[in-house]
Chain A
Amino acid sequence: MLKLEKRPQPSRVFAWLTPLMAVVLTMIAGGILFAMLGKNPVEAIRVIFWDPLFNEQFASYSRPQLLVKAGPLILIAIGLSLGFRAGIWNIGAEGQYILGAIVGAGVGLAFYPLDAWYVFPLMVIGGALGGWLWAMIPALLKVKFGTNEILVSLMLVYVGEQLLASMSLGLLKNPEGLGFPGSRNLKDYPSAFNDELIAGTGMHWGVLTAFLAVIFAYILLNRHMLGFSIRLTGEAPRAARFSGVNPNLLILFCLGMSGLMAGLAGLFEVSGPSGQISIDFNTGYGFTAIIVAFLGRLHPVGILLAGLLMALTYIGGELAQLMLSLPSAAIQLFQGMLLFFLLAVDLLTNYRIRFVKREKA
């Protein structure tokens, strides 16, 4: 008989081992799934995890895509992880991402066609501000009236989506766009375009910002009183109050920070890989980033690796759809499994499994 036993303290080894175990288990279970769909499981796993990086035919296209996709995921997930560490649940990063894109792109389009060095920096500030303000709505409502930030931030995603549609059909619509919905393409406006910093790598300002955010979060959480307060609040809220943490300030900071980073991610996306505001601009980065944050154990370095892994399964998944004609639902299932396995094996950090003989009745 199996028995769970609480460890006297969390295991450091398992804290790092469980994400790897989750990946391996996902590969095994995913392999079985693909086999049942009549595909060769080994080949499917290879197409998803190996070919995007090392297949000569595809790698030149998909390798830069890795950073393009991982950048926003990491940037958003780092912001979310600060709140999650403190037990503040911002589920609406998708909305903040949209608002960052709208405000940032709006700033850029307002200057069109002025050619000046300061256009892009102003857009960055606009994007950050847009996301921040959108996140301040649930934050202030929670502080003032005790509303639930999970519900408010989530509902604001749908408001954001409507706003996005309205913007692409109205205020920000390309006047030379022949009536098609969507804004001007910022790729055609050099002062506002977030181009690749090194050609052919996928590295743009957003990816760089994501890496800086990893370093910032690491220092904040491990070296600064504010980060300590965040962790303390998540571990023991009453002890945090006793320690002198002001819970309201922490809510404002954490929601604001995650909104700001999601807004930045939206701005870098709209001014770079996407290029324009359109009705279907958002593709779910804000929700996937929640998975990335947990897959990375809410640790900055973990999130960096998890973001890269998640981006890989996206690119590999698309490749598998193309090459093996796997249904896209199977790919989504595969990605979902990753989170489920992580949550399941996560138990091993705080508990150990013992085999005990069945007790005599």
Chain B
Amino acid sequence: MTQPLLKIDGLTKAYPGVVANDSVSFEIGEGEIHALLGENGAGKSTLVKMIYGLVKPDSGTMQMRGEPFAPPEPRAARAAGVAMVFQHFSLFDALDVAENIALGMEDPPPMRDLAARIRSVSEEYGLPLDPYRTVGDLSAGERQRVEIIRCLLQDPRLLIMDEPTSVLTPQEVEILFQTLNKLRAEGTSILYISHKLEEIRALCDTATILRLGKNVGTCVPRETTARDMAEMMVGSELQTPKSAGAKLGDIALDISGLSMPSPGQFGTALKNIHLELHRGEILGIGGVAGNGQDELLLALSGEERVPSDAIRLGGRPIGKLGPNARRAAGLLCAPEERLGHAAAPNMSLTENALLTGAVRRDLANRGFLRWGQAREFAEEIIKKFDVRTPGPENAARSLSGGNLQKFVIGREVLQKPYVLVVNQPTWGVDALAAAAIRQALLDLAAGGAGVVVISQDLDELMEVSDHFAALNEGRLTAKRPTKGLTVDEIGLMMGGAHGMEVAHAEA
């Protein structure tokens, strides 16, 4: 039997209150694409941080090609041939590609040589990239290429990729997979972290599944069904959300000719958006991150004002109204970023209930707050949405991502919206909480409300929405019935491969 590239034996890491990894063992072979599969909070991140030298294990050992391997810091891990592409890019928007790559190097070569090397590596692996372009102008897929090329320049033996496809269109995923397959053919091993089962079945040779910090099984993804893997991951049977199948009613939300300049320097301008949403309808809006999702939410929540006629709610123009006037009219929103936007991290859940609930739940009397009612409202959200917390006096930041998201969605749903707009409702949320949130959205629509779900998770959109549209560089495509849409069609709606097709013409 050949020696594995990396052998992990009994790695354990405990944080106060949780055991992130409980004696995890597995092996990654030479030239193997190994999937690390698990829900959010299963301990995937902690495990790869230990391999990359960011976190020191409490106990357990690692071996790299038979030699003991215990990197005290990332630099040592890189020297041993481990490279990592993080889920959140660490790039400077204002610098160009080559400058960004030089920043991460121990002693960067002269800029001209580096640019030439970037060109040659990017062409060799089918990832075309101009070294002199400013990163702020690149799409998410292109930024990821910068990170990948930064790693490839180190000539790694093991490449760790953390949820690489969450920012890509289906076509871009295809290109990425070709690149990864090419790397495998050259003998590079890849540790591929994901919770998207179909991807793993298409790409990976073996998979290790983590649940609550423990290794609960290893399998060959090609020979295992997605459902079996999902149940290993969650540890119980999954309830698929069900739609009651409401009939569509009158037009609830009518957006016509909505244009808005970008509120931030590197944001996206909205360009002439048209949209009709009926009562009882769930419209899914897909698209790669950074194509106007956040801006669309700001325009709908009232944080950014637009011409009055651009947005009509039940026929009434509301474009000029502020957030509270829109809430009074029945348009409620839940932004993507939980901590800092949808909720104030250091404030209690009661205060966070008040944050959007004051108008519709009548929590203030001539400006004077009714703390008793606010507390009752918070308790109602906690009870009906099964938010795990000792009580409403706890700070929002003390809740886990999934629980806080249930609180945020519950806060809006319980205010009985006429139209609800949510952005990334299940981002970074465990599977059970995600299913509960999707079910709540379906129930809301069944009760006659219009719902807009903006999400980058296509599986989620296919599961809950009646109609699908996509944002691409601030433009919204016409909506189409979800039923019968193919992955290729969705990809084209999302803007295809953003001009990346050429790369593999010769492959």
Q: Which residue numbers of A lie inside 8 Å of B, CB to CB?
A: 5, 8-10, 223-226, 228, 231-232, 235-236, 238-244, 246, 359, 361
Which of A225, A232, A359 gathers most chain B CB within 10 Å? A225
B181-189, B346-354, B445-453: which lies at the interface: B346-354
Known contacts A8-B395, A10-B346; decide if A242 and B341 are in contact (CB<8 Å): yes
Instruction: Check B394–A243 contact: CB distance below 8 A.
Output: no
**Which of B302, B324, B346, B395 has the most chain A CB atoms inside 10 A of its CB?**
B346
Known A-B contacts: A10-B395, A236-B340, A244-B324. Give 10 more (CB < 8 A).
A9-B346, A223-B369, A224-B368, A228-B354, A236-B341, A236-B346, A239-B342, A244-B323, A244-B327, A359-B56
Q: Which residues of B are interface residues toward A (Cβ below 8 A)?
A: 16, 56, 72, 301-303, 322-324, 327, 333, 335, 337, 339-347, 351, 354-356, 358-359, 364, 367-369, 371, 394-395, 397-398
Report the Cα distance A240→B323, complex, angstroms: 10
Evaluate contact between A239 and B323: CB separation under 8 angstroms. no
Contact, CB under 8 Å: A223 / B72: no
The docked-state distance in angstroms from the alpha carbon of A338 to that of B337 is: 38
Query: B327 contacts which chain A residues (CB < 8 A)?
Result: 244
Known: A238-B341, A242-B301. A225 touches B16 (CB 8 A): no
Chain A to chain B: the 6 pairs with minimum beta-carbon distance, closest first: A9-B395, A244-B324, A244-B323, A236-B344, A8-B398, A235-B344
Assembly CA distance A5 to B346 (angstroms):
16
In the complex, 16 of the A-B residue pairs with CB atoms within 8 angstroms, ordered by the A residue number, are: A9-B346, A223-B368, A225-B358, A228-B369, A232-B355, A235-B346, A236-B343, A236-B346, A239-B343, A241-B303, A242-B303, A243-B323, A243-B324, A244-B323, A244-B324, A361-B72
A232 touches B344 (CB 8 A): yes
Known contacts A9-B397, A225-B369; is-contact A244 B346 (Cβ 8 Å): no
**Chain A residue at minimal CB-CB distance from B56:** A359
Residue of A whose beta carbon sits closest to that of B16: A5
The answer on a CB contact under 8 Å between A246 and B322 is: yes
Give A246 to B56 CA distance when docked, in angstroms. Answer: 46
Tell whether, in the assembled complex, residue A239 and residue B341 are in contact, meaning their CB atoms are under 8 Å apart: yes
Provide the bound-state CA to CA distance between A236 and B322, in Å.
18
Q: How far is the CB of B55 from chain A (nearest CB, A)?
A: 11
Residues of B within 8 A of A246 (CB): 322
Which residues of chain A come closer than 8 Å to B56, judged between CB atoms?
Answer: 359
Which B-chain residue is minimally distant from A233 (CB atoms)? B344
CB distance from B24 to the nearest CB of A (A): 19
A224 touches B369 (CB 8 A): yes
Enumerate chain B residues within 8 angstroms of A240, measured Cβ to Cβ.
Answer: 344
Q: How far is the CB of A250 from chain B (nearest CB, A)?
A: 13
Cα A244 to Cα B322 with chains together (Å): 7
A243 to B351, CA, bound (A): 11
Nearest CB of chain B from residue A14's CB, rounded to whole Å: 14
Provide the bound-state CA to CA distance between A132 and B478, in Å: 54
Question: Chain B residues near A223 (CB, 8 Å)?
Answer: 368-369, 371
How many A-B contacts if CB must be within 8 Å? 77
In-complex Cβ contact of A236 among B72, B345, B364 (8 A): B345
When chains A and B are docked, how far (Å) is the Cα of A272 from the Cα of B358?
A: 45
Chain A interface mostly: helix
- Distance (Å) between the CB of B507 and the closest chain A CB? 44
B334 and chain A: residue at smallest CB distance: A242
Closest to A238 in B: B341
A121 to chain B, nearest CB (A): 27
CB proximity of A332 to chain B, nearest CB, Å: 34
Inter-chain CA distance A228–B357, complex, in Å, is 13
Q: Kindly provide the distance from the CB of A330 to the nearest chain B CB, expressed in whole angstroms.
A: 38
A235:B347 contact, CB within 8 angstroms: yes
Q: Are B346 and A239 in contact (CB under 8 A)?
A: no
Q: How far is the CA of A5 from the CA of B56 in the complex (A)?
A: 17
Contact yes or no, B367 A226, CB < 8 A: yes
The CA of A243 and the CA of B346, in the complex, are separated in Å by: 16
Cα distance A359–B57 in the bound complex, in angstroms: 10
Which residues of chain A are within 8 angstroms of B394 by Cβ–Cβ distance?
9
The docked-state distance in angstroms from the alpha carbon of A10 to that of B347 is 10
Query: In the complex, how many angstroms separate the beta carbon of B393 from the nearest chain A beta carbon?
Result: 9
Query: Is the pair B351, A228 in contact by a Cβ cutoff of 8 Å?
Result: yes
Return chain B residues, CB-CB under 8 Å to A8: 395, 397-398
- Report the Cα distance A9→B393, complex, angstroms: 10
| A2 CB to nearest chain B CB (Å) | 15
Closest to B338 in A: A239
* Interfacial chain A residues near B340, Cβ < 8 Å: 236, 238-239
Chain A residues within an 8 Å CB radius of B371: 223
Q: Which residues of A contact B335 (CB under 8 A)?
A: 242
Question: A5–B349 Cα gap in the complex (Å)?
Answer: 23
Please name all residues of chain A whose beta carbon is closer than 8 Å to the beta carbon of B358 when the two chains form the complex: 225
A361 nearest CB across to chain B (Å): 7
In the assembled complex, which residues on chain B have CB atoms less than 8 Å from the CB atom of A231?
347
B356: which of A9, A10, A228, A243 is its contact (CB, 8 Å)? A243
With both chains docked as a complex, state the minimum distance between the C-beta of B210 and any C-beta of chain A, in angstroms: 24
In the bound assembly, the distance between CA atoms of A46 and B339 in angstroms comes to 48
Residues of A within 8 A of B347 (CB): 231-232, 235-236
In the assembled complex, which residues on chain B have CB atoms less than 8 Å from the CB atom of A239? 340-344, 355
A224 and B397: CB pair below 8 A? Answer: no
**B41 shortest CB reach to chain A, Å:** 16
In the complex, residue of chain A having the shortest beta-carbon distance to the beta carbon of B324: A244
Q: Which residues of B contact A359 (CB under 8 A)?
A: 56
Q: Nearest-CB distance from A10 to chain B (Å)?
A: 6
Q: Assess the B344–A225 pair: CB atoms within 8 A.
A: no
Q: Give complex CA distance A7, B16 in Å.
A: 11
Q: Give the CA-CA distance A231 to B354 in the complex, in Å.
A: 13
Residue of A nearest to B304 (CB): A241
In chain A, what residue has the closest Cβ to B348?
A9
Alpha-carbon distance between A225 and B374 when the two chains are bound, in angstroms: 12
The interface residues of chain B lying within 8 Å CB-to-CB of A225 are 358, 364, 367-369
Collect the chain A residues with CB atoms within 8 Å of residue B342's CB: 239, 242
The residue in chain B whose Cβ has the minimal distance to the Cβ of A9 is B395
A236 to B339 Cα, complex, angstroms: 9
**Which residue of B is nearest A226, CB measured?**
B367
